[in-house]
Every structure is written in structure tokens, then in C-alpha cells.
Structure 1
Amino acid sequence: MWGKIYQWIVFISGVIHSNISRRRKTMAVHCSFSCDYRYDHNKAGGNLSRIINEKKKPLPALKRYIINSRSDNLKSRLMFFLFLLIGMGMNGCASGDKPGFPPGMTGYVVDKKDGRVLVAASEPKDYSDTGGQEVFYSAIWFSNAADNAEIGHGVEVWYEVVAESYPGQSEAEHMEILPGEKPEEANLTEQEAVKQALESKDIQGIPAVTSVDFQTEHKQWKVEITMHDVTVNDYNRGN
């Protein structure tokens, strides 16, 4: 991402330099031509040496001001665009607009530490054709995550490069927190129920939340984690 921003900075700097130089040359030639034309029109019969001397005269202060003002105006606009681009890169896409293409991962935040979140996919992938596992749940530690992403949240993540490890390591280009369910009969939100289920002592390794459902008749949440079903009583711990 920062490589792309650097390329834009170099490009915009080149545009600033070339446009200002071209604008100054164009204005200078235009003013010089205008001076020659007026001199030739008002003082017909003047000799060539006097016209050449007229060309060599410095530009009037007003015209120099116009040239510099227009150049500074162009420079200001391009610099504003440059700082806007840098600001977008610093904020990151995690808090920007939702991209117009599908996310790279949909799952739940199952851990959070040091400003990063661990997201485990809700749907498995089949790598048996290449000698891998038939049921494999991807898990990736994401930096540049959404500020309000907490353990138990369902999320969609857009990203590019992933470090080869398990769990993987990547930087989120954009992260959307999915709206959680809270039935009228429930006291806990979906995120709170998933978080409590993830804190269960029976869960080992990296969990993958595959299904979350509130059972109205029993007034409890059923959270499926990998191949384990975890039941969470529907009450707030603070009560």
C-alpha cells in the first residue's frame, strides 16, 4: 500500500514541476510577444534593434505577479491533492469506503492483542486435491483493523498479501463489522454470546466459529466452533 502511495507522490511532484515550468515559459513568451506587437503597432517605422531591445526588457511587475500567482495556485491545488492522498493512506482502507469487490475473508474475530485481531474463517476450504486438508479453516492476524473490532464480532476483510504461516499475517485494506443479531427474547448480543463461547476452557488451538443461533425455546445461544458445539446460557455476567 505504501509503495503505491510513494509512486503517486513521485508522479504528483513531477506534475507540479513540469506544469509550473511550462506555465512560466508560456506566460513569458506571451508577454514578450504582446510587448513586440504593441511596440510595432504604435511606433511603426522603428528599427529592428529597438524591437530587439524591447524584447530584452524585464517583464513588468504586474505581469510577473500574474505568472507567479497562477503558478502558486496550481502548486497549491496539486499539493492539496498530494496531502489528501497521503492522509487516505495513513488512515487505511479499514475505515474507508467498502470496496466494490468481494472480501478475501468472512469470519469472526477470535482473538485480539497488540492492536491486531485474529480472524478465523466461518467457511472451510478443501485442499485435498493438492495433498492438504479436506476441511481447513483459514486464520489470519490482521493489523490496521477497524478500531471497534472486538472478539466475537463477525467481520468481512479485504486484504492483499499474507505471510506464509498459521495463522497468517496480513494488513487489512478494509474491514467491515457485520451487524450482529439480538432477538427480543435474548439478553446477550450475538457478539457477547460468541465471546463467551470462545472463552470456554474446552476450546484448544485456534477456533473457527461456523454457526451462531439463538434457541428461543431454551433461551440460549448455540455457537458452533470448528467441530465442537458450545452452549451459552443467556444471561449477563454482571447480573
Structure 2
Amino acid sequence: MASRMMVLILLINLIFTGCSEQDQKQGEPPRTDAPREKGFTGYVVDRKENSVLVVNPEHKDIGTNGETSKYYPAKWFSNVPDSQIGTYVEVWTDGSPENEPYPGRARAESIAEYAAATPDGAKISEADAIRGGIYLSDGKEISLPVIEDVEFHADKGIWTVRMRDAMSTDDNQAQIELEVQDVEPVESVQGQKK
């Protein structure tokens, strides 16, 4: 009877072990750092102390009475000490309740920064060009920047940064095109735009 119980316990243990490792590829260690679901992605467009404002350039069309308006997901994430303005990031929250007024607020559990491209011949990266565009006088007029496109023109030594203001009441939310010189990187001032 005891040997049957041992065999039964071993079988149950093997069944549960096999099920829990089903998603894991053979020969690979389990990833303990892998997030369970997709995080919030977008560009860091502002900083205040240990918080960053992230705006996703992928909009949703909304509107009433036949008018179309664009909604750009945006959130302030606290608990983010190092991310620079202009960086493209993916943020996962700690699961605590999120505040919903636009832009939303949440506490970050982890953050992944994607390497900014520096094309051949460029002195600065895409993130530096975005940061420079936000700091330009026209860029400072935008209350909630949505980075739509960044392009380097090697022949002219300039970057073109195209952005919109997500808070614009303009029906078309006109795109603003800013030129940033390809010179030394613009340093971010923590907590404020230059």
C-alpha cells in the first residue's frame, strides 16, 4: 500500500512538473525576468524627479458627431530614476491602482529602454534629436508632445523631428516639424525642459 502511494505521489509530481515546464523550450533555463504581458510603450517626453511622462505615438481615433479626433495614450510613471527624455521605453507597472485623469499615473515596476539609433555620419542619436526638438522654443510650446517621426539628413547635418500636441483642441492636431542641428548632445535637465 505504501509503495502504491509513493508511485501515485511520484506520478502526480511528474504531471505537475511537466505542465509547468510546457512553455519553456528544451535546454533553456526559465526566464525569471520575462514580463507576463506587454508593457506601456512610447517616448519619454518629460521628467520630474523620479517620474517620467511616456507618450505612445500610436493613436486611437475617437470623436463625436462625425468629427474624428486622435487619442494618444500617455502616462506619468513614478519610480523611474534614470530614463532620459527622448528615449523609447516599455514600462511595466507594479499592479497598484492607476490614476485615470489624462495623462494617467502609475508606479513602474520595471522599465526597458530601447537603444536609440545613431545613423552613419551622425554626431547625436535619435533620442538626442528628440530631446533637442522638445527643448527648442517651438517644441516648448507643445504641452504634451507626441513624437511621430525622426529623420536624419546627413547631407545637411540636421535632424527633422515631427511631433504633435496630444492636448491640442485643433481638429486636425497639426503636425509640427522641427529641425535640430546634428551637434553635441543636448543634456536633459532633471525636472524641467530647457
- With the shorter chain as reference, the TM-score category is 0.5 to 0.7
Which of 54, 75, 84 does residue 119 from structure 1 map onto?
A: 54
Q: String of CA shifts for 1:149-197, please: whole Å, max 9, x gaps.
A: 1111111122354312122111123211011001120011111111110
Distance 2:98 2:62 in 1: 17
Pairing 1:70-149 to 2, within 5 Å after superposition: 97-103=33-39, 105-128=40-63, 134-145=69-80, 147-149=81-83
Paired position in structure 2 for 1:228: 176
Structure 1 residue 126: deviation in Å? 2.0
Which residue identity is paired with 2:153?
A: Q
8 Å Cα contact 1:109-1:154 kept in structure 2: yes
1:188 aligns with 2:136: no
Q: String of CA shifts for 1:111-165, please: whole Å, max 9, x gaps.
A: 11121111111211223379996311122110122x3311111111223543121
Q: Percent identity?
A: 33
Which of 149, 163, 166 does residue 99 from structure 2 map onto?
A: 163
Distance 1:143 1:131 in 2: 37
Which residue identity is paired with 2:176?
A: H
Distance 1:142 1:208 in 2: 17
8 Å Cα contact 1:98-1:174 kept in structure 2: no
Number of residue pairs aligned between Structure 1 and Structure 2: 141
Paired position in structure 1 for 2:112: 176
| Higher helix proportion (structure 1 or 2) | 1
Which residue identity is paired with 1:125?
A: K
**CA shift in 2, pair 1:123/1:234, >3 Å:** same
Report the TM-score, using the length of structure 2 for normalisation: 0.64
- Structure 2 gaps of 5+ residues are 1-31, 165-174, 187-194
8 Å Cα contact 2:77-2:106 kept in structure 1: yes
Which residue identity is paired with 1:223?
A: V
Indicate the structure whose relative CO is greater, using CA pairs within 8 Å and at least 6 residues apart.
2
8 Å Cα contact 2:128-2:185 kept in structure 1: no
Rg (Cα) greater in structure: 1
Paired position in structure 2 for 1:153: 87
- Structure 1 gaps of 5+ residues are 1-95
The CA RMSD measured in Å over matched residues stands at 2.5
